[in-house]
């Protein structure tokens, strides 16, 4: 997993014809963990962004699930100092939509669905670290995301991911 992120970061650096700041524009990449999929980010200000994901999860469980999320994220760049690049504590709030098929999936060691498929909607509270690579249009992130599912019933869940995104030129 570390090798994949390093390859993505280095490849993006060498392929980029001009480096742009990662704290602006649109970035797309991958996230690995629970769930695993595609990650995107659109900066709305120097310290704020909208992040989203399209993913799947429940590996090793019966059925698995499809996952969509969108978050509004704040970045605190002054908390942690690094010699090169920028490192920010990020935090925010958003929504998660999760659907699963007829086999359901296990959630906290219990069947989430005994009647053949379903959908859950919840509130996410992402907290993590974002590293903006100096001189390359790439960021690397790690986050833990407590989620309170509200529909069809109330339950607490935890997502976690490690990922990288490439920022496209303007």
Give the residue numbers spanning the domain of 89. 2-167
Residue 144 has which token pair? Answer: 């833990």
Number of structural domains found in the chain: 1
Taking only the tens place, the pLDDT of each residue in 143-160 is 999 999 999 889 999 999
What average pLDDT does this structure show over 2-10? 48
CATH number for 38: 2.40.160.20
Q: Is 15's pLDDT higher than 90?
A: no
Q: Is 66's pLDDT higher than 60?
A: yes
Contacts for 31 with CB less than 8 Å, ≥ 6 apart: 37, 38, 39, 53, 55, 161, 162, 163
| pTM: predicted TM-score of the whole model, two decimal places | 0.76
Max Cα–Cα distance, the chain, nearest Å: 54
What's the CA dihedral at 61, 67, 73, 75 to 10 degrees? Answer: 40
Which band of pLDDT confidence, cut at 50, 70 and 90, is reported for residue 61?
Answer: low
Contact 67, 46 (CB under 8 A): no
Which band of pLDDT confidence, cut at 50, 70 and 90, is reported for residue 117?
Answer: low
Mean pLDDT score of the chain:
81
Half-sphere exposure of 12 (CA within 13 A, CB side): 27
Neighbours of 40 (CB within 10 A): 17
Task: Select the more confidently predicted residue: 169 or 78.
Answer: 78
The pLDDT of residue 161 is 96
Which band of pLDDT confidence, cut at 50, 70 and 90, is reported for residue 33?
Answer: very high
C-alpha gyration radius of the chain: 17
Which band of pLDDT confidence, cut at 50, 70 and 90, is reported for residue 87?
Answer: very high
């Amino acid at each position: 997993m570390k090798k994949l992120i390093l390859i993505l970061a280095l490849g993006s650096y060498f392929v980029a014809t001009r480096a742009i700041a990662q704290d602006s524009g649109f970035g797309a990449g991958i996230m690995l963990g629970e769930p695993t999929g595609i990650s995107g980010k659109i900066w709305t200000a120097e310290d704020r962004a909208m992040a989203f994901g399209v993913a799947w999860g429940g590996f090793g469980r019966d059925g698995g699930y499809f996952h969509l999320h969108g978050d509004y994220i704040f970045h605190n760049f002054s908390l942690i100092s690094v010699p090169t690049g920028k490192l920010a504590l990020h935090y925010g709030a958003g929504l998660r939509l999760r659907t699963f098929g007829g086999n359901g999936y296990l959630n906290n060691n219990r069947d989430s669905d005994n009647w053949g498929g379903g959908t859950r909607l919840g509130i996410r509270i992402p907290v993590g670290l974002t590293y903006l690579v100096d001189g390359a249009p790439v960021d690397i992130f790690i986050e833990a995301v407590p989620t309170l599912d509200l529909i069809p019933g109330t339950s607490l869940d935890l997502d976690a991911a490690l990922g990288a995104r490439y920022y496209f030129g303007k």
